[in-house]
Amino acid sequence: MNSYQRITELNSSLIIKTVEMHTGGEAVRIAVSGYPEIIGETILDKRRYCKENLDQLRKMLMEEPRGHSEMYGVIPVNSDIKEADMAVLFTHCEGYSVMCGHATIALGRYAVDHGIVKGVSPETIVKIQCPCGLVTAHVEYQDGKAGAARFESVPCFVFAADQKINLEGYGEIHYDISYGGTFYVYCDLTQFGLNFKSSSVTDIATTAMKLRRAVAAKVTLTHHEDNDLAYFYGVIFYSGPLDNSDCFEETCIFADAQVDRSPCGSGSSGFLALLHHKGLVKEGEVRKFVNGKTRSSFNGKIMKQVKVKDTPAVIVEISGKGYYTGECTFYCEQDDPQPSFLVK
């Protein structure tokens, strides 16, 4: 018996296997086996159950030494709606998000490649239940292989436009709040004397968290479906005043100062809702979103206008491609005193 067999047999209850992917440079770690049963009637119940009962497994996969401070993950669960082909929870180093666009793009390809949905040329539809609602992915399928994907969002809307806040050290800051499956603060980075080219990632992330805390202390969010969705997930910084350009630089800082390597699918969804609200994009027009640091990009467009109760909203489409980076088997030895670290 080799050392690997000995360790895994001794710790068989803690073996978790994953498929590793990335979209736009942002990690997608999909837990494909090893998770215990996740209990709950609804997907938000399952999210709460994981937070309250299985959070040590999230930390094991997301944090060092198996992960890192910018890791992102997916936990497949049983769907509670018949329309869905699959259902998932999203994880990161702070907890559990309710929507993730870059992961949805990767999951579309993964679902076709792994037979969750049978591939159909030229495009296969994959319906994914996320904590924020049902999202539909359209996955390119040619010669038996899945490729790039685009997903249709849940209704996206502006919660509060043209807001102001006095931020210590910076004075009056202008911002907007928009929902793209989760809530973000949208703000022009240049107001802080920062820019994507020369400012450090640390300075950008620190400023974003200061802004998010200040806005969260001032603004009470609500959501029409469930107030589990009503929280500030992150900040989308963009460069310069908004106009009717066809390309926008942006960077998403979310959770506990995690810096997205992709342009952020849910953030771009909310961005399109904001641009539409301000009259800067029309239905059917394509906009490109480029990460200000990594230069990876997504395309997005407004598909149609809808209403969420009395609130004007839009369904948007975000497109990109997920790539495989490997497969892993993770375990934790029984006498390991530090199953995970999170250093900030």
Give the residue range(s) of CATH 3.10.310.10 domains in the chain.
Answer: 3-153+324-330, 157-319
Residues with catalytic annotation?
100
For domain 3-153+324-330, the CATH class is: alpha beta
The string of pLDDT tens digits covering residues 155-202 is 999 999 999 999 999 999 999 999 999 999 999 999 999 999 999 999
Query: Which residues, 6 or more positions from 310, have their beta carbon under 8 angstroms from its beta carbon?
Result: none
In this model, does residue 4 exceed pLDDT 90?
A: no
Fold designation for 157-319: Diaminopimelate Epimerase; Chain A, domain 1 (3.10.310)
The string of pLDDT tens digits covering residues 69-84 is 999 999 999 999 999 9
Does the reported pTM lie above 0.85?
yes
The string of pLDDT tens digits covering residues 98-144 is 999 999 999 999 999 999 999 999 999 999 999 999 999 999 999 99
